[in-house]
């Protein structure tokens, strides 16, 4: 369950931050960097969610 929550969090976080950077018109480089940040946020959020579900 932990791995699934982390995977979903990583995917959604990365996509969300990429979308926000693209919508702000920051360009490919910043979208890539912010996508990585979003993925890290998603890992943490997914891990915390899995801890609550257990």
* Domain coverage including residue 31: 2-53
Number of structural domains found in the chain: 1
The answer to whether residues 48 and 4 touch, using CB atoms and an 8 Å cutoff, is: no
The answer to whether residues 14 and 39 touch, using CB atoms and an 8 Å cutoff, is: yes
Q: What is the largest CA-CA distance in the chain?
A: 40
Q: Spell out the per-residue pLDDT of the chain, length 54, in tens.
A: 999 999 999 999 999 999 999 999 999 999 999 999 999 999 999 999 999 998
């Amino acid at each position: 369950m932990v791995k699934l929550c982390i995977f979903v969090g990583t995917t959604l976080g990365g996509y969300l931050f990429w979308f926000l950077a693209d919508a702000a018109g920051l360009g490919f480089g910043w979208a890539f960097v912010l996508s990585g940040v979003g993925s890290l946020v998603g890992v943490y959020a997914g891990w915390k969610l899995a801890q609550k579900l257990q």
